[in-house]
Structure 1
Amino acid sequence: MDPAARRAAESAALLRAVDLAARGAGTVLPNPVVGCVIVDDAGVTVGEGWHERAGGPHAEVVALRAAGARAAGATAVVTLEPCNHTGRTGPCSQALLAAGVRRVVVAVRDPWPTAAGGTEALRAAGVDVRVLGPDDEPHLVDRAEDVNRVWLAATRLRRPFVTFKAGMTADGRVAAPDGTSRWITSVPARTDVHRLRAEVDTMLVGVGTVLADDPQLTARDPDGTVTGRQPLRVVVDSHGRTPPTARVRDGAAETVVATAAEFPGPGGVDLGALLAELYRRGRRHVLLEGGPRLVASMVDGGLVDEVLLYVAPLLLGAGRTVVEGTAVHTLGEAHRLELCTVDRVGADVRLRYRVPAHLGPGAARTDAAGTST
């Protein structure tokens, strides 16, 4: 195969590996999602796999099993650098060597020092390794980074990846002037939110939301049945006002009430310290669902990585807004977002934004202003 054809086959294989990696969302935490495709010298796929669950075989091992003897002399295309350590499974670098793989294409280097080094181990053994760089088909690197954004950000920042989710009207309201908010978004949008809740490992709200709405913060079926693995529920409650009868304290899932006594900060709970503790406990993906002042504190502190908005075709003209009380005073200080995806969900539109770490006031901070919500 000539070099141009080989590059084209590897690019196609990487896009397929990204799609495979996405299948592990919600089942692999606290591990990364990874996809692997093995192609022969003619560019034909002979094996593929993805990391399905924490503690289970890694993507490379699954793909090698599917390829069997055809892996010898083939090329393995992986979304994340093959691991080079022994944990609950063996090192993927050695599995690739044992199978006789001749070439490995890596989209993203592993930022976790314990597992890194697979590239060097493979090259030392004579394998031809191609590591994609930011100037080498950047759209492919971006796709591989994006599918694994939760684990990559958590590993690099040493805190969980934070997704802020909100359902709102077309004019940015989350409740009417009388406080009513059920239901702004459509049934398909709410179903999609419960899918997301099932994928994360932590839910985060302020005590104001608990007192106003008494949410259960669980992943549920369309009929309302609590089902599947449930995320940890965390309430930011500086003064311990969460009622013992609140639904968030029921037995459907584990709950942590974070107070200023445990995480002392100026004005309330130190949100950066709280996230650091959650990371220490093995939590990697936090879904932030409000309220508006907690969200403002998280955004101002540079602690939100992604914004997911479900926009309903409604206009209110008054009522609570999705974020209240940030440190922004002028347009030049605005927290700027990068639009990633736009999808229609029922009658609503789902917008996913990336929060660039270098943009917005306070974004470089490692802790957050406290909140008394």
Structure 2
Amino acid sequence: MANAHEYEVAAMRRAIAISAQGMGSTSPNPPVGCVILDSEGRTVGEGYHVRKGESHAEVNALSAAGDRAEGGTAVVTLEPCNHYGRTPPCREALINANVARVLIAVMDPTSRGEGGAALLRRAGIEVEQGFLKDEALLVLGPWQSSLNHGRPFITWIYEAGMDGNPNGDSGRGIYRGEVDSLRGSYDLVIDQEGGIEEGESGRHGNDVFQLPHGVLSSDADEIVKALGGAGARSVLLSGVANRFSLIASAGMVDQVISYLPRTPPSWSPGKDFGRVAAIPDGYRLVGLTRTESHVRVAGSRTSDFYCSSRKS
């Protein structure tokens, strides 16, 4: 970012923020945002990807900018695509718009051939990559994690018992509001009774996730394999169920959000409690918030680039 201007940093943060509006509706494509600056650094257009098969972020932003994009800068959260699919390649749209510079946060590991950035450079366009990458991963992190691990990015939210283990769920009232606020950011939400709800893609009638009948009665590997095979990139598990514990034990839950009940200021667990914990083994603390009756504990298995609805 040595050559970046303050307005370009602001533009990328704007692109990241608007890209979040595509979370839960773009899979298996990533949620991407784009801001177009004119040659004077003024914002002249912005756009984001809504769902698979529709215009990508760059095309939407260029459409809004019109001729004012010429000689300007495209600020985009993910490397522009370079292949023809349901839509033309975004690198072609940027070249045709005669932009002078492209700032990219995250490189696309699914690029075919040389990649969009290489083709933009070949066309004489200045390209900078890795621009605010860590901040862009707040939105793109689950999608990237899904590609890296060959399965959906999985979050498990539950009410814990006094010992901190996920065995004290008494009706989900404690975290129901958070589940309601998060469901639009995930492709699928699965509750402890086995109910499956699609995210925004399903609400628009796309029926994008075709899951085999009775899949949740399978073992952990088969459940996760079926979710990924259906095209889900992100899944929220809600409540306490044996199948969720099995998935977590297999190392396939990426983050946990636990609601730990308040304890007295001086407290000793009974002899039947065993080991007392805050979050399951293998996770690092990335968020702590006090509520009226609980402590919300957020843990991440891999890194702290993403924690849904981080409140601390």
Q: Normalization by structure 2: what TM-score?
A: 0.78
Aligned counterpart, 1:274: 223
Pick aligned residue for 1:163 from 130, 147, 155: 155
Aligned to 1:19: 17
Sequence identity of aligned pairs in percent? 36
Q: 1:86 to 1:155 in 2, by over 3 A?
A: same
Counterparts of 1:301-312 in structure 2, within 5 Å, are: 301-310=250-259
Q: CA deviation at 1:191?
A: 3.2
Residue matched to 1:35: 33
Residues 182 and 159 of structure 1: CA distance in aligned 2, closer, same or farther (over 3 Å): closer
1:192-341 alignment runs, 5 A limit = 192-204=178-190, 209-210=192-193, 216-218=195-197, 256-259=214-217, 269=219, 271-291=220-240, 293-310=242-259, 334-339=281-286
| Residues 48, 57 of structure 2: 8 Å contact kept | yes
Judge conservation of contact 2:210–2:230 (CA < 8 Å) in 1: no
SS at match of 1:166: strand
Unpaired runs of at least 5, structure 2 = 304-312
Q: Which amino acid aligns with 2:284?
A: L
The 1:190/1:204 distance shift into structure 2, 3 A limit, reads: closer
Does the CA contact (< 8 Å) of 1:47 and 1:64 recur in 2? Answer: yes
Q: Which amino acid aligns with 1:197?
A: R
CA deviations over 1:50-81 (Å, ceiling 9, x no partner): 11222111110111011111100001111100
Q: 1:161 to 1:65 in 2, by over 3 A?
A: same
* Superposition deviation, residue 167 in structure 1: 3.2
Amino acid of the structure 1 residue aligned with 2:215 = V
Distance (Å, rounded) in 2 between the aligned partners of 1:184 and 1:171: 19
Aligned twin of 1:172: 164
> What is the alpha-carbon root mean square deviation over aligned residues?
3.9
User: 1:197–1:287: 8 Å Cα contact kept in structure 2?
Assistant: yes
Which amino acid in 2 is paired with 1:280? G
Give the match's secondary structure for 1:119: helix
When normalised by structure 1's length, the TM-score is: 0.66
| 1:83 match | 81
Give the distance between the partners of 1:173 and 1:336, measured in 2 at CA.
13
How many residues align? The count is 293
CA contact (8 A) 1:18 1:147 kept: yes
Which residue is equivalent to 2:170?
Answer: 181
Structure 1 unaligned blocks of 5 or more: 221-226, 235-253, 261-268, 358-373
Letter in 1 for 2:299: Y
